[in-house]
Structures are given as structure tokens and as C-alpha cells.
Amino acid sequence: MNADPFGLSAMSFLRCIDLYRTICLFVKQIVLAGKTCMPTFVMDELSKSYMQVEYAPVEISAYEEGNSGIPFVWTFDSEREGPHAMVCGIMHGNEIAGAAILDRLMRSGLRPTRGKLTFCFGNPEAYERFDTDEPYQHRYVDTDINRVWGAELHDEKNQDREVLRARRLRPLVESVDYLLDIHTMQGRGEPVALVQGKRAALSLISKITKIPFVLTGKMHQADRLRLRDFSQFGDPDSPAVAIQVEAGQHWEAGAIDEGEAIALQFLECVGILDPNCTTSEQSQKQLEIVEIVLPEGGQFEYADDFRNGTFFPKKGTLLGYAGPTRQEVRSPVDNCYFIMPVHFRLNGGSCGRFAREISNAPSDLIR
């Protein structure tokens, strides 16, 4: 009599188990891919030249427990009077330099000499999905966590993972006086900071001389609040300041060094570390947006490989060709800069911004 109720030999049974595990793994991969709601990118040959990943993403599982009651968030209190500063990274899962910078700061044993210091790994779930073969993917899982700091927080029907993460972070963020949100960008070039145009923000950023470009003005999708615009940071009368810094090209190793240096100077300038912060002779361009480039269907071809911060001295200088009809896009004013070229383009997304120095940017040019 066959003792196997399924009529299988031991070897056949083991093969079935292996097959079952393989199928489960395959299904899991399909589910994860389906849950990553990234749209299709529009790319060209220049885009592909920006896909080389020069360094491996650091392992962050050791930071998962946190010490603040929130996973991947660590707060250290000096027990001395002072502000609360936060340094945040990997709000976007494919901007992996942020994790490397936080890892360096944590490993160094950096602690505040006054006030409180928080390190926040913003979107670890998206980060863990990063794939060097498709580095432009996995910016988020369900939705962009840097676009959910407004109405989304209050919509209980919205259960996107990034929204749930933002709700978890919200009480802590509301206690922060100074925030540095470390990002990277698609184009090459020197770092640029994106800030509110209020006096407190421009005053602080002028002291952080390792950031050569500062951008203010109305952004694309302004109705979807970024972290830097949330609550006290967006209040023009509040002294609280949030800085979103684009520390370099996403996957160039130099972005890690740039971002770390900026983070340390930021902490000195806000009084968390012993002061070593003076206004430098180094030139910093404080800019205001005059035009956002929004090509139809995300179709755009640059006339050259423009770097972040490329200067256009004359109005009418060719930037590139937009849309299916290849309409020429030219600089809208004299003496402007092109900020944050976009090489992995989306339908409805921007391809960069023209901006010029605040003293030269009349309000009627802001669109």
C-alpha cells in the first residue's frame, strides 16, 4: 500500500516543493514590480550616458530599529538648549547617495553639541528595491513621498505606503527647526539648493557656502507639497527653514562627498555643532525661476550636454527641441542659468528650469 496520500515519491515531493518555492518567488517579483507604480520614461542616447552607477548602495538594515519610535529614524539629544535639526536622505529610493551620507555621519559618531539632531532615512522601502541595471526606476513604491505633505496627509482613504510613512514622520518633522533634505539630480554639475524665498531661508543658505546655486520661485506641481514646503517651513513668518539640496549627479561617487560636506556645514551654521560658520567670499548665486521647460509628451532633445548651472548670457540661445514637432526651446531672458537638466523624462514632467539672480528677476517673469 502506498503510504504517500498524494501518490508521490519522496523525490517527486521535494521537486514539487522546489517548484512551489520558485513559483512563489516569481509571483512575489511580479507583485513587487506591479506595486512600483513608476511610469514609463522617455530617453535618448544622451540619457543612456547618465546610467552608470559608480558605487554600490550601502546596507542600511542596521538602522531599521531607530531610537525614536520610528523605523530608520535616529535622534540624539545634547541635553543642552538649542534647536532641533534633521538631516534626511533617500526620500527617493534611487537617490542612493543620501543613504551613504547618513551612514557616514552615523558611523562617525557625530553628536550635537547643543540642541537635538535627527537622522532620517526617508523611504527605505523604495531604496531597498534599487537596481543598478535600471537605476532610474524605484524612485518610490506607490507615490512620490516628496509630493504628499499637503492634503494627502489628511485623506484617510489614501493608504499609499509613502503617505503612511509621511504620516508616521509628521509629528517629528513638526518639531524640527532646521531641515536638510539631501537629494541628487539627473544632470551633472555643482550642487543646488531649493528653498522657500522667505528671509530666514535666504539668510541661512547664504552662510552655507558649499552650495553654489540656490533656487527659489514657483515650482512645477506646486500644488503637491514637498517636505521643504510643509507647515512651519512654508510659513513666511516662521524662522524654521527647510533646505532641499541636490548634491550632485545621482550615481556619481562625488555626490557623496559633496553631500556630506554640505551636511556638516549646515549643522555648524544652525548651531548644532560647534560654530565654524562664516560668510565666505565664495560666490553663491541666489536664483529665482523665470521659466520651467515642459515639453509635450516628455519628448525633448538637448542641443548639447548642458550641466546644472550652465549660464546663458543672451536671450534666445538654443537649449533644445521639444515635443513631436521638435519645437525650438530657447533661453527666455538675458543672463540666466539652466538648473537641473532632466534626462529620464516623463509625460507631463519638466526638463529643467531657467532662472536668474533674484536682484535681476522681475516678478512679472515668474510663471
**What's 142's domain CATH number?**
3.40.630.10
Q: Are 127 and 217 found together in one domain?
A: yes
Distance CA 190, CA 339 (A): 10
| Total-model pTM | 0.86
Q: Are 242 and 99 found together in one domain?
A: yes
In percent, the amount of the chain with pLDDT more than 90 equals 78
Using N-to-C axis directions, what is the helix angle for 97-107 and 254-269, rounded to 10°?
60
CB–CB of 127/90 below 8 Å?
yes
Q: Are strands 336-339 and 318-322 parallel, antiparallel or unpaired?
A: unpaired
Q: Are 260 and 292 found together in one domain?
A: no
Q: Which of 151, 229, 148 is nearest to 194 (CA)?
A: 229
Residue 12 lies in a domain: no
Q: Are 249 and 210 found together in one domain?
A: yes
Q: For every one of its 367 residues, what pLDDT tens digit does the chain have, with 9 covering 90 and above?
A: 444 444 545 445 445 545 544 444 444 344 444 445 566 888 899 999 999 999 999 999 999 999 999 999 999 999 999 999 999 999 999 999 999 999 999 999 999 999 999 999 999 999 999 999 999 999 999 999 999 999 999 999 999 999 999 999 999 999 999 999 999 999 999 999 999 999 999 999 999 999 999 999 987 666 789 999 999 999 999 999 999 999 999 999 999 999 999 999 999 999 999 976 555 556 899 999 999 999 988 899 999 999 999 999 999 999 999 999 999 999 999 999 999 999 998 887 899 999 999 975 444 333 2
Q: Are 223 and 358 found together in one domain?
A: no
Q: How many domains does the chain have?
A: 2
Residue 55 lies in a domain: yes
Q: Are 260 and 346 found together in one domain?
A: no
Q: Are 234 and 114 found together in one domain?
A: yes
Residue 308 lies in a domain: yes
Residue 184 lies in a domain: yes
Residue 278 lies in a domain: no
Q: Are 104 and 248 found together in one domain?
A: yes
Domain holding 299, by residue range, is 287-365
Distance CA 33, CA 37 (A): 8
For 49, counting Cβ atoms within 10 Å of its Cβ (0-12 exposed, 13-18 middle, 19+ buried), the class is exposed
At 297, which CATH number?
Answer: 2.40.50.100
Residues 6+ apart with CB under 8 A from 80: 113, 114, 115
Q: Are 214 and 339 found together in one domain?
A: no
Q: Are 113 and 168 found together in one domain?
A: yes
Distance CA 231, CA 245 (A): 19
Q: Are 253 and 352 found together in one domain?
A: no
Distance CA 109, CA 103 (A): 10
Residue 279 lies in a domain: no
Residue 280 lies in a domain: no
Q: Are 223 and 299 found together in one domain?
A: no
- Nine-digit cell string for 260: 556630506
Residue 62 lies in a domain: yes
Distance CA 180, CA 86 (A): 6
